[in-house]
Amino acid sequence: MKVDVDDRDIEARARVRVLCFAHAGGSAATFSIWEPMVGPRLPIVAVDLPGHGRRIREPLPTSMASLVDQLATELAHVMQPGPFAIFGHSLGGLVAYALTRELVRRGTRLPAIVAISATRPPWPPSPRSLSSLVDLDDADLVEALMTLNRTVGDPVTDRALISFMLPVIRSDLRLAGSLIDNLPADAAMSRSATLPLPVPTLLLSGEADPLVTAREMAGWRRYFTGEVSTRSYPGGHFYLLDEAPAVLADLRATLSATMAGHDAPYRDDG
C-alpha cells in the first residue's frame, strides 16, 4: 500500500523537503495554503494517511506503531535523497514524533528538525488530551470540534460535515491513544516516557488553544536531546491557518540555523 504524497520536488537534493501531517480528521489539503508561500528550496510534501483525503476509501490505520512502520517504508524515497524536516499538527504532531522514533529504531536518516504543533506530549495522560475526546458521545464530540474550529474561523465548521467525518475523527483519536499504549510501561515512563531522540525540535502553539498551553508544549523537551526552540502565535488550536506566514518564517529560520555548517546547507532563497 503506497503512501500518497506530492513528490514533484524530491529529486532536488539540496532542497529541504517538509513532510507535513495534519490534525485528526484532516488531510494533505490542510497544507495547500502553504505551498504558494514557500520558496522552491522548501517544498511541502503533504501526506494523506490511509482513510484520509485522496485515500478516503482505504482502511483507517489501527495503531500508531503499524502506521509509522508503513510511513517509514513508503516515504523512504522522500527522506533519502537529501535533507528533510517533519511537521505535524495536533494528531500529526504525535505522528511526527512516532515516525522519528521509528527512524531512530531503524538506524536510517533522521530529519533535520521535527516541528510539533498544538499537541501535548503522550505522557502524562491528561483529560484534555486528544485521546480523551474519544470518550465523548457523538453530540458532545461534534460540539467540541465546532468550538475548536470556531476559535479561529476555520472553514470546516459545518455541523453536517463534521458529523459525516466522525468515524474518521474517532479512529484518529484512538490512534493518538495507541501511541501511549505502545510506550514502555516501566518506572522511567513517568520521567521521560522513552529514550529521548537526538533531533532538533521546534515546538509551536496557539496562545488561545483550549487543548494545550505553551507550558504543556514545553513538556516535549524531555523527549529530545537536540536543541529545542519554542514559538507561540495568536489564535487557537488551528492558529497555523491564519498565522501561516509567521509559522513558515519560523520554520525557515530554524532550518537555516540547524543546517548552518552542513555540507549542503539550507539557504532561504524565498
Question: What pLDDT is recorded for position 234?
Answer: 95
Give the integer Cα–Cα distance in Å for 218 and 167. Answer: 31
Q: Say what the pTM is.
A: 0.84
Question: What pLDDT is recorded for position 194?
Answer: 60
Tell me how crowded residue 253 is: count the other CB atoms within 10 A of its CB. 14
Percent of residues in the chain assigned helix, strand, coil, to nearest 5:
45, 15, 45
Q: Amino acid letter at 69? A: D
Question: What pLDDT is recorded for position 136?
Answer: 82
Question: What pLDDT is recorded for position 123?
Answer: 75
Supply 39's cell numbers: 520558496
Following DSSP, what letter does each residue of 1-48 receive, concatenated?
---EE--TTTT-TTS-EEEEE--TT--GGGGTTTGGGS-TTS-EEEEE
Which residue segments constitute the domains of the chain, with CATH numbers given? 4-259 (3.40.50.1820)
Which of 234, 175, 202, 213 has the alpha carbon at shortest distance from 24? 175
Q: 10-residue block means of pLDDT along the chain (270 residues)?
A: 44 73 92 86 91 91 92 90 92 95 92 95 71 79 76 53 83 84 45 72 94 91 92 93 94 88 45
Which of 103, 138, 100 has the alpha carbon at shortest distance from 116? 100
Is 118:205 a contact under the CB 8 Å cutoff? yes
Question: What pLDDT is recorded for position 130?
Answer: 72
